[in-house]
A and B are shown apart, each in its own frame.
Chain A
Amino acid sequence: MLYLRLAALILVRTTVRHWREKIGSYLLLLAIVAVGVGAFNGIRQASRSASANFGLFNQAISGQSDFLIESPTKTLSADVLYSLGPLSGDPDWHLVPVIEGSITSLDGDGEPQQQLRLVGLDLMGLANLPNLSEAKFDFGEDELTWYDWLGSENSVWIGRKTAEKLGFDEGEAIKFIASGRMREMVVRKIIGVESSSFPDDLVIADLPTAQLLLSRPNELSRIEVIIDRPELRENVDYLETIKSRIARYLPENLAVQPTQNRAADRAAITAAFRLNLTILSLIAILVGAYLILQALDAAVVRRRSEVATLISLGVSRGVLFLTFLLESAVIGSIGSVIGIGVGWLFAYLSAQMLADTVNALYFATTIEAISLTWMDCVFGLCLGFSFTLLAGWLPARDAMQTPPAQVLSRGDWSPGFSWLRNRWIGTVLLVLGSLLLLLPPFPLEAGGKMAVGGFLAAGCWILGAALLSGHLLVGLAGLLRSFSSSPTSRLACSRLHDGSSRHRLAVAGLVVAVGMVTGMFQMVDSFRGTIEQWFNVRFQAELYISERGVTGAGTINGIDPSVMSELVQDETIAYADIVYVSYANPPEGITVLSGVDMEAWSTTIRQLWLKPPGSLEPVEGSEPALISETFARRFGLLEGGSIELETTTGKKSVSPIGIYSDYGNEFGTAAVDISTWKEWTQSERPINVSLYLNEGSDINGVRDRLRLSYPGLDVRNAAELRGVALDIFEQTFKATSALNGIGLVVAFAGLLLGLLAIFDESSRTWLTLRHLGFSKNQFLLSAGLEGAGIGLGAWISGSLVGLALGWLLIFVINVQSFGWTLRWQVPMADFLTFGSLLVIAGFLSGLLAATYWSHKNK
């Protein structure tokens, strides 16, 4: 209690007054905390809102449903409704068949405007449900009788937001592209805004209408089950009995599961993506914490003599420790509060970008309004607060160790951080990191994996290298000293060679930044290099045709088979490589089953082969397949073998005869022959086609002709598609490079602060040198050289650990998380540029810090 009172007294009398005097630096500190917390929170919110849509969709339509009946491929024939027999008549529940697919709305000029999600419901059935619930959709007050639903074949219901955005009113016609055809519908009703959870991109139609639009007659996506007694919804036992009762009557290829599972399933699909973002935002906050540490430590140094005097007056060290900790706590809390606001802004600005990325790579999404929950606030506050406190810990300890004034007055005094001199901690961390690599990856839901060992090893290596970098700096300075003759360079080298804790801290912070940035360099470069090479092989045909408006690799809708067969009749086509795709269930999670022309794929069509077709013996009794590397790694089929996949028609075994690289999805693909695929999936819908034209054809002429005849299809030549595909990957790395930039800026700021503290601490040395006739320019030059030396040392250590990180990212983390092998590329030019930048920045920081110092000590 007395402690606290004293600490408060000192805080008010000294700390707060220092703040007032240096209001600029403290505002900067607050800004740092705010940006750190903001980046973290913002990224969290943005990625959540971008993927929230998966879950939301469920809540909106089937928020009222308790179970879903689905097939492994997520499609089923409407005929199953009859085969459900006793299930459909049961008074305890209602069955709602649903079809779902994506369509693209067109503007007045027939250009694609927005991608929408079409859901077909049995409206009549829905209207007859007994008091479905509070949140039931309002399909129009006066349309509650069943005959009003008649004649809705050409009508759709859309949400108010979409209607406003696209400029439609009730009763107007709206044009869509669906399944490669253009369609016209009437907007029957605009659904009011009362249900705020209604997704932006939702279009509702009667079941037959939706089936027609998607040209999937007689097909369903799933059947939703709504229990008749809403009051028992929360009753686990009741739900369990219902579930088992349903399961009993279900045909073999169908499964019933609680509604939330679906949302979870889809959310998990983006888990890997979100994981990356989370790690990046954690880095942002860590880097922020480092800056705070530097700044608070500089404050301790500045106030060293004050602290010493207080100790001489009998203020206990505990009180001083508490005071400095309180100081960082205050900064932490104010900064975090601001950070939450900053985060909201950041999320608001970046959500679109993130949504685009998620969109392109995974599923079509729209942006849900950015929501700031209480959890976010609490989480952000706690995070900012605890990191600032942690960052304040070392400086506070440092302050506590200040000797009393009478000792301090004897000379320069550089205390604390003695562990920075201990080479064992760093060495042990490096070894520990290498051992952690042996940890197996941690399986996530939906079949993804997280390279736990890899991430932990990365952390250990970075920290270890940072701790050891001080020794490297000392050695380097010793080496350089023997080459230097001028008094300025000698002075700089001798000071670095002395290796004070503060020099070590400065270089350690830089090493962390350099290591991470150069590691990321390599990954992005390797990724880009590999992808480009992959594209060269992949885009070997002249023209590529897919459904228009669908950009996502994960969206499975497909092209109307009759459109396809008409299209491939074109006489300029030498060969059409038609590809079919559907989901299939491996023993765990989900994967992709594709149907291809096996004959052509095994001979003429080029791939990046990891194992060329024929190099693996297929297992007797299994369907021979070409599998992607991801698939092979996921199911341990790199050396052959077989795996069972559950399809519409039951469990089927596939066995690889070849393995190709595919960077398109992280769930893996198994490609079987088209006839087999059709038989297994009971579907005829292709997803896309690559056209090889007759020799001498005018590629763009054919493209334009096809575009005119098939307005619903997306026809592109190889170059165009390459551009689009590369864009997608560039987008993925946008956030990465932005954070890299922040990391660098922060590292330099940290170096500057560190050098300021160093020069402050050596005031006596400089004053003495000044008395000895050291000119101001000599002082500045020497300070610049000192900074440059730290930059050089940090670059060498940082590049070493960066190389290790690059290796780790490419050969451990990527392989374990996504099953991708990338070609490791070390961008030498970037490394060197970066090194020179660091040395120059170090020199400038030294110069700047020294200028500031001499300005202050005029």
Chain B
Amino acid sequence: MTTTQSENAQYALSISSARKSFGTVQVLKGVDLGIEPGERIALMGPSGSGKSTLLNCISGIEKLDSGTITLHGQVISDLDGGGLEKLRRESIGYVFQSFHLLPTLTAFENIELPAQLINMPKDERREKVYHMLKSVGLSHRSDHKPDALSGGERQRVAIGRALIHSPGLVLADEPTGSLDTQSGEDVLALLEKLSVDQGVALLMVTHDRSSARICNRVISIQDGLLI
């Protein structure tokens, strides 16, 4: 272990010597990374280099073979299933390439859901969601269901959903991957603005060097190592 507990505390996320392989394929070969609160990082790398795997390890969906990941002072490999669920509910926001909005919920309800999951009082919650809808520029579409929204609009709802419960860390896996240039720009601008406003750390996987401009730092993954 290279970092001490007190050092960890200053990071929103810290990863040390993370190793992960699928069968004989070694995907992560000792990854070290520290992200400070409010820091925005772009993660780049060739296809198959393990970017999504790293994100999945951070959210506890995949288990590391060795190494530690510490999120807000909690070592996630120490957590059981329930603890991981709680972590995901409270401390992480996720933005997917293909949106993954719930088809039966309206834009408003989709954003509201994570707040409901953490039992936010109703009045505060509605207030916040209303506010968030305004921030993502979709106040006029609040009662529409996902299939009535465009791709860009859906991703804006998804970003609202990722941030509504004020997580410490937002993980975004190619958030603009399914969008045209203009919508991509809008989404990036929104991500930047909200994470700056809320002081949220952002780890964003992207293939596009220009998207990286909203970030403070760009790191690359290659042959299972960050460079």
Contact = CB atoms under 8 A, between A and B. Distances in A.
A405 B96 contact: yes
Interface stretch (A12-20, A107-115, A416-424, A774-782): A12-20
Contacts of B98: 409
B149 interface: no
Interface string B12-53: 000000000000000000000000000000000000000010
A640 interface: no
B100 interface: yes
Most chain A CB inside 10 Å of its own CB: which residue of B56, B61, B102: B102
A403 B60 CA distance: 12
A9 B52 CA distance: 31
A315 interface: yes
A309 B82 contact: no
A579 interface: no
Contacts of B213: none
Given A309-B100, A315-B117, A406 B85 contact: no
A431 interface: no
Interface string A297-337: 00000000110111011111100000000000000000000
A14 B145 CA distance: 12
B190 interface: no
A275 interface: no
B117 A404 contact: no
A6 interface: yes
A406 B61 contact: yes
Contact of A305 (B87, B100, B105): B100
Contacts of B97: 409
A6 B117 contact: yes
Contacts of A403: 61
B86 A314 contact: yes
B56 A314 contact: no
Interface string B111-128: 001101101000000000
B104 A306 contact: yes
A177 to B, nearest CB: 71
B103 interface: yes
B89 interface: yes
B104 A314 contact: no
Contacts of A404: 59, 61
B85 A308 contact: no
B96 A409 contact: yes
B141 interface: no
A9 B109 CA distance: 11
Given A6-B117, A309-B101, A407-B61, A314 B55 contact: no
B226 to A, nearest CB: 20
Nearest to A5: B119
B94 A313 contact: yes
Contacts of B52: 406
B109 A13 contact: yes
A407 B103 CA distance: 19
B173 interface: yes
Q: How large is the interface on B (under 10, 10 to 19, 20 to 34, 35 or more residues)?
A: 20 to 34
Interface in B137-156: none
B185 interface: no
A316 B82 contact: yes
Contacts of B104: 13-14, 17-18, 21, 306
Nearest to A312: B94
A310 B114 CA distance: 9
B61 A315 contact: no
B100 A314 contact: no
A314 B87 CA distance: 7
A17 to B, nearest CB: 4
Contact of B56 (A14, A18, A309, A406): A406
Nearest to A20: B104
Interface residues of A, number: 25
A693 B198 CA distance: 110
B96 to A, nearest CB: 6
Interface in B149-172: 161
Contacts of B114: 313-314
A137 to B, nearest CB: 66
A742 to B, nearest CB: 34
B161 to A, nearest CB: 8
A306 B117 CA distance: 15
A314 B96 contact: no
Interface string B82-95: 10011111101010
B103 to A, nearest CB: 6
Contact of A406 (B87, B94, B161): B94
A846 to B, nearest CB: 27
A322 to B, nearest CB: 14
B119 to A, nearest CB: 8
A313 B117 contact: yes
Given A14-B104, A309-B102, A317 B94 contact: no
Nearest to B61: A404
Contacts of B56: 406-407
A313 B89 contact: yes
Contact of A314 (B101, B105, B117, B173): B117
Given A404-B61, A405-B96, A407-B56, A313 B173 contact: no
A310 B102 contact: yes
Contact of A9 (B82, B92, B116): B116
A314 B85 contact: yes
B129 to A, nearest CB: 14
A326 to B, nearest CB: 16
Contacts of A409: 96-98, 100
Interface string A272-314: 0000000000000000000000000000000001101110111
Contact of B81 (A317, A405, A407): A317
Interface string B60-96: 0100000000000000000001100111111010101
Contacts of A9: 116
Contacts of A314: 85-90, 92, 114, 117
A417 to B, nearest CB: 21
B106 to A, nearest CB: 10
Interface in B166-203: 173
A315 B85 contact: yes
Contacts of B90: 314
Nearest to B86: A314
A406 B82 contact: no
Contacts of A6: 116-117
Given A309-B101, A313-B88, 8 more contacts: A13-B105, A14-B102, A314-B89, A314-B90, A315-B85, A315-B89, A407-B61, A409-B96
Interface of A: 2, 6, 9, 13-14, 17-18, 21, 305-306, 308-310, 312-317, 403-407, 409
30 contacts: A6-B117, A9-B116, A13-B104, A17-B104, A17-B105, A306-B103, A312-B61, A312-B94, A312-B96, A312-B100, A313-B88, A313-B89, A313-B114, A313-B161, A314-B85, A314-B87, A314-B114, A314-B117, A315-B85, A316-B81, A316-B82, A316-B85, A403-B61, A405-B94, A405-B100, A406-B59, A406-B94, A406-B96, A407-B56, A407-B61
Q: Which 9 A-B pairs have the closest CB atoms?
A: A314-B89, A314-B88, A17-B104, A309-B100, A316-B85, A405-B100, A14-B104, A314-B85, A404-B61
